[in-house]
Structure 1
Amino acid sequence: MKKQIWWGAAAVVGLGVGGWALLPQEKEPAQVADALVDISLPASLTTSAQVGKTMFEAKCAACHGINAVGRNGAAPPLVHKIYEPSHHGNESFQRAVAMGVKSHHWRFGNMRPIEGLTRGDVTQIVAYIRELQRANGIN
């Protein structure tokens, strides 16, 4: 009988710990040590933006920083008024990825073309960037 109680208690504790591990953890920080801007993260992302975030982290974050906050000495923040849709439309991002960009707003040097991304991939990355921008009052 004591073994059954002990095993039952162990099972309850195990389920509790397992359930805790599945709960949403704290949001990832929007700021990083070498970030150029401080931002607020949206409460949630659309499915397209979630996919775009994954691709952004794989192909863009090394230069443009986690959550597109820029990296000191590397590349500009994309969550910035300069990149609002009325100044840099979605096609600007497509062209930057496909052909690269000569340095013009910032002094980070030229951006090289990024290989391995389709137009569809960039569309989802742009969805992520636009949702970050909207969460920070950039429309």
Structure 2
Amino acid sequence: MQRKILLILCVVLVAGGGYLLFGKKSHEPSGEPAQVMVEVVVPALNATTKLGERLFNDNCASCHGANAAGQQGVAPPLVHKIYEPSHHADGAFYLAVKQGVRAHHWPFGDMPPVEGLTQKDVERIVAFVRLVQTANGIQ
């Protein structure tokens, strides 16, 4: 059951990233930045989550927005009940990065795999995202 949930999360994450990577060009001509989808409070970060934040910003924020708040018309927010651990376990993030995700929760298209991240990198990104989720009521 957890594997299925993890696979679903990965699919969602990959779908959002893929859309951003391949579909973002259609948003650029307007010259307007994509709108943030949710308001996010960022708690105090420790060394691990600070590194996770930096890795997220370098590899995920271009699609999923600053602080995982999503971007309207680009990619979904990861600070959303759909991505709570009971629905999308941590393993879903690992699979999404490694294999990509087919679109299923959001209308952003498929997310492609994210190249160049180690398992430890993804672990740190997940720690950051989970901390931000918790600070925003996502349990």
- Which residues in structure 2 correspond to 1:1-139 (within 5 Å)? 34-42=35-43, 44-139=44-139
Instruction: Measure how far apart 1:46 and its partner are.
Output: 2.0
User: Any idea what the Cα deviations from partners look like across 1:44-84, whole Å, max 9, x if unmatched?
Assistant: 11211110000000000000000000011110000010000
Q: Which stretches in structure 1 are left out of the alignment for 5+ residues? A: 1-31
TM-score, normalised with respect to structure 2: 0.75
Secondary structure class of the residue paired with 2:131: helix
Q: Work out whether residues 34 and 72 of structure 2, in 8 Å CA contact, stay in contact via their aligned partners in 1.
A: no
- Higher relative contact order, chain-length normalized (CA < 8 Å, sep 6+): 2
Q: Distance in 2 between the 1:50 and 1:39 partners? A: 16
The alpha-carbon deviation at position 40 of structure 1 amounts to 1.5
The answer to which structure has the higher helix fraction is 2
Structure 1 residue ranges (4+ consecutive) displaced by more than 2 angstroms after TM superposition: none
Q: What is the aligned-residue identity percentage?
A: 52
What amino acid is the match of 2:116? G
Paired residue type of 1:39: V
Which whole-Å CA distance do the structure 1 matches of 2:134 and 2:46 have between them?
13
Write the deviation string for residues 79-109 of structure 1: whole angstroms up to 9, x where unpaired.
Answer: 0100000110100000000000000100100
| Counterpart Cα distance in 1 of 2:74 and 2:98 | 19
Instruction: Return closer, same or farther for 1:81/1:47 CA change in 2, 3 Å cut-off.
Output: same
Relative to the length of structure 1, the TM-score reads 0.75
How many residues are treated as equivalent by the alignment?
Answer: 107
Task: Answer yes or no: is the 8 Å Cα contact 2:65–2:71 preserved in 1.
Answer: yes
Question: Displacement, 1:39?
Answer: 1.6
Q: Which amino acid aligns with 1:69?
A: A
